């Protein structure tokens, strides 16, 4: 997996978490979609992206990984 895809997943998680925070602060609800659900999905997405990035860092033999 390329670095840009991991960064896209991470940003997507950030956006969902920010939207979940907005839902939570304003007490909005769209059917079953609540702030808590969006925060949970966003944070899990960020965790997955972080784990993928750590695995990529550990398995990379090239020292210029972060300089790309």
11-56 per-position pLDDT tens digit: 999 999 999 999 999 999 999 999 999 999 999 999 999 999 999 8
How many angstroms from the chain centroid is the CA of residue 10? 3
**CA–CA dist 59, 17 (Å, integer):** 29
Q: Which tokens belong to 9?
A: 């997943």
How many angstroms separate the CA atoms of 2 and 37, rounded?
29
Query: How far apart are alpha carbons 48 and 14 in whole angstroms?
Result: 12
- pTM for the whole structure: 0.84
Q: Tell me: pLDDT of 62 over 80.
A: no
Instruction: Say what the pLDDT of residue 1 is.
Output: 76
The residue ranges of every structural domain in the chain are 3-59
């Amino acid at each position: 997996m390329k670095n840009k895809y991991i960064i896209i997943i991470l940003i997507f998680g950030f956006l969902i978490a920010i939207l979940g925070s907005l839902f939570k602060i304003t007490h909005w609800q769209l059917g079953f979609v609540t702030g808590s659900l969006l925060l949970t999905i966003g944070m899990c997405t960020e965790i997955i992206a972080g784990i993928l990035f750590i695995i990529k860092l550990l398995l990379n033999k090239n020292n210029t990984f972060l300089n790309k």
